[in-house]
A and B are shown apart, each in its own frame.
Chain A
Amino acid sequence: MLGNKDFLAGLVFLAFGWAAIASARDLPAGTTLMHMAPGDFPTGLGAILALFGVYLMARGIGWPEKTPAPVGWGWRPVTCIVASMLLFGLLLPRLGLVAALVAMFFAAALGGREFRWGEVLVLTVVMTAFAVGVFVVLLKLPFQLFPGIYLA
């Protein structure tokens, strides 16, 4: 009953609204409308967001058949994509662009429906060459290719 899209979306919005209000408490609040302080706008917005969240949760409870439970949560694709981006960010400053891209491609490809070693390898080689050519040579982005090795 609580697994429908309205209820869950409401929950997400309520959480963000509450977090917004809670962390705006450290900011000064204004005394009158004329002297709005840095904390006022965020607090107001957080309250509005929380209200929308509560409304959606109520609608989800009272009218659950309107939006059925979300289908096909695929945790693997989203996890692999996020992990591949984190790997890229982690490796680029340390081991250089080539290593970062190799790690990124293999991690991302694991999130796909099928994973073929040979294909991913070819794709990685081709796209890494493309990235070095376009971003480093042509657009002159200051990336290190390998640890300590820059292209001019």
Chain B
Amino acid sequence: MIENLALGFAVAFSLENLAYCFAGVALGTLIGVLPGITPLVAIGMLFPLTFTLPPIPSLIMLAGIYYGAQYGGSTTSILVNLPGETASAVTCIDGYQMARQGRAGPALAIAALASFFAGCVGTLLIAFVGPPLGEWALKFGPWEYCALMLMGLVASAVLAHGDAVKGLAMVALGLLFGIVGTDVNSGMQRYTFDVPELFDGIGFTVIAVGLFAVAEIATNLDSREPREVFTGRIPRLMPSRHDLGDSAWPTVRGTAVGAAFGVLPGTGPALSSFAAYMLEKKLAHDPARFGRGAIEGVAAPEAANNAAAQTGFIPTLTLGIPGSAVMTIMVAAMMMHGFAPGPQAMAEKPELFWGIVASMWIGNMMLVVLNLPLIGVWVRLLRVPYRWLFPSIVMFCCIGNYSVNNNPMDVYLCALLGALGYVLAKLECEPAPLLLGYVLGPLFEEHLRRAMILGRGDPSLFFTRPISLAFMLGTGLVLAVMVAPVLQRKR
């Protein structure tokens, strides 16, 4: 394991890769901190930029963008009370209160330090858990893969916030979008309507940018909520010794909670940060402090969501099954570079696999070393008016989509999906499960058809093979969670 990590660091520490990692972190933070831009939008917008690079630098830069954008998200939740994503929604509660009490500096510093600690632990976990898990996954047949994907898809729909039935419907819609294109088994065209640009399927950028960036701009423009921006100066950045002492154990506990949640496909960072916050509130001597600027309320959820984000790479890299919307972007980017994550990848391309793992740690470290001194710059960015921002985001979306195939059709499709995403968002349908369905759709069908051929059309094998049965029971459990509150309400 140690030699694996060493190989990874050797790859990631080359001057070129360090530069790309830095560029990614800086760009990710820059975009992620702009008001009204969630980390997902930032990643979706920036990742076409990485296409022109060779695989390793490109993925390293993407990992940097990811961490930068996440960090930018926690900055906006602390300073603007505007959670960039669900994962940092909990950070708003106490982080924003701290900012109002003039303690924005320590809040931001603790958020970064707790994230860094969690990131280190997460990286080690990937290094230790990844290889055995990958080896175990080599025993998976198509049944196990199907059952695991089913569990991930159902979990992403049910456990995400919002209505579970709508989430499941969005998964089904996403699976359908994934079918568009040439069927790999028969070579037949499905849902392509004789449009040649659709023969290869709907591009990933088209879906991600359309549903997340374009739809979100339209939604932002017609909401009229006034935004209170923290505009005061930040007098002191470094937390006191007292602050550090207060947040040490919450950070450790948050990391543990996050690491556990992160491995489960579909649950992801959002749930873990919420769970970590509740745990701290339970354990505190004086729970009333929470909600009024308790530093533990920043440290624990930030550690948890970063640990979960990090361990989320475990199922993504070893099994090839992304657990969250951001992970699906990472998987799609890897596939574009001819690197299909999964148990084989680790053995075949160790320098790529371990290079990514190591660069995630470096990305984390760069955040602390470079971004804390730059806080003043990020704060100023928060005051950029949205009417300047949104046309510029549209520009990135247009150029990004056009450049993938050098074809205007991708831009047209992206615009249409943006309109669809806007309507769905207005109807309270979350786009994340759709994206997961879209990425897993082709894989799911392939494994399902293989399972049916190998099992001579016998679906009972899903329930008689032990590992597959375990995943099926997991799926059932998640569905039970969904039905339970309905039953309680009826009583």
> A residues engaging B (CB < 8 A)?
5, 8-9, 12-13, 16-17, 20, 23-24, 27-28, 32-38, 41-42, 45-46, 48-49, 52-53, 55-56, 59, 67, 70, 72-74, 77-78, 81-82, 84-86, 88-90, 92-93, 100-101, 104-105, 108-109, 111-114, 119-120, 123-124, 127, 131, 135, 139-142
Cβ–Cβ contact A104 & B406, under 8 A: no
Q: What is the CA–CA distance of A131 and B62 in the complex, to the nearest angstrom?
A: 20
Cβ–Cβ contact B416 & A82, under 8 A: yes
Cβ–Cβ contact A104 & B394, under 8 A: yes
> Beta-carbon contacts of B452-485 to A below 8 Å, as 1s and 0s?
1101111100000000000000000000000000
Q: Which residues of A contact B231 (CB under 8 A)?
A: none
- Stretch in B178-186, B267-275, B326-334, B360-368 with 4+ CB within 8 Å of A: B178-186
Cβ–Cβ contact B452 & A33, under 8 A: yes
Q: A82-B415, A85-B415, A114-B387 are in contact. Are A42 and B190 (CB under 8 A)?
A: yes
Q: What is the CA–CA distance of A56 and B406 in the complex, to the nearest angstrom?
A: 40
- Stretch in B74-82, B220-228, B280-288 with 4+ CB within 8 Å of A: B220-228
- Cβ of A86 to closest chain B Cβ, rounded Å: 6
Q: Which residues of B contact A20 (CB under 8 A)?
A: 176, 191
Cβ–Cβ contact B399 & A111, under 8 A: no
Does B165 sit within 8 A of A, measured CB to CB? Answer: yes
Cβ–Cβ contact B395 & A131, under 8 A: yes
> Beta-carbon contacts of B95-139 to A below 8 Å, as 1s and 0s?
000000000000000000000000000000000000000000000
Cβ–Cβ contact B224 & A84, under 8 A: no
Beyond A34-B456, A142-B406, 13 additional pairs, beta carbon < 8 A: A12-B424, A33-B452, A35-B457, A41-B179, A41-B445, A49-B172, A53-B169, A81-B214, A88-B398, A88-B408, A104-B394, A112-B391, A139-B52
Q: What is the CA–CA distance of A114 and B214 in the complex, to the nearest angstrom?
A: 19
SS of A interface (majority): helix
Q: Which residues of A contact B409 (CB under 8 A)?
A: 89
- Stretch in B303-311, B370-378, B425-433 with 4+ CB within 8 Å of A: B425-433
Q: A72-B222, A77-B221, A86-B415 are in contact. Are A108 and B185 (CB under 8 A)?
A: no
Q: Which residues of A contact B394 (CB under 8 A)?
A: 81, 84-85, 104, 108
| Interface magnitude class on chain B | 35 or more
Does B32 sit within 8 A of A, measured CB to CB? Answer: no
Q: What is the CA–CA distance of A8 and B403 in the complex, to the nearest angstrom?
A: 35
Q: Which residues of B contact A9 (CB under 8 A)?
A: 166, 169, 424, 427-429
Q: What is the CA–CA distance of A85 and B176 in the complex, to the nearest angstrom?
A: 25
Cβ–Cβ contact A48 & B172, under 8 A: yes
Does B345 sit within 8 A of A, measured CB to CB? Answer: no
Q: Can you list 18 A-B contacts with CB-CB less than 8 angstroms, sorted by A residue number? A: A5-B427, A12-B423, A38-B186, A41-B448, A45-B175, A45-B179, A48-B172, A59-B165, A82-B214, A85-B411, A89-B409, A108-B394, A112-B391, A113-B387, A114-B387, A119-B388, A127-B392, A131-B395
> Beta-carbon contacts of B403-415 to A below 8 Å, as 1s and 0s?
1001011011011
Q: What is the CA–CA distance of A124 and B455 in the complex, to the nearest angstrom?
A: 60
Cβ–Cβ contact A38 & B403, under 8 A: no
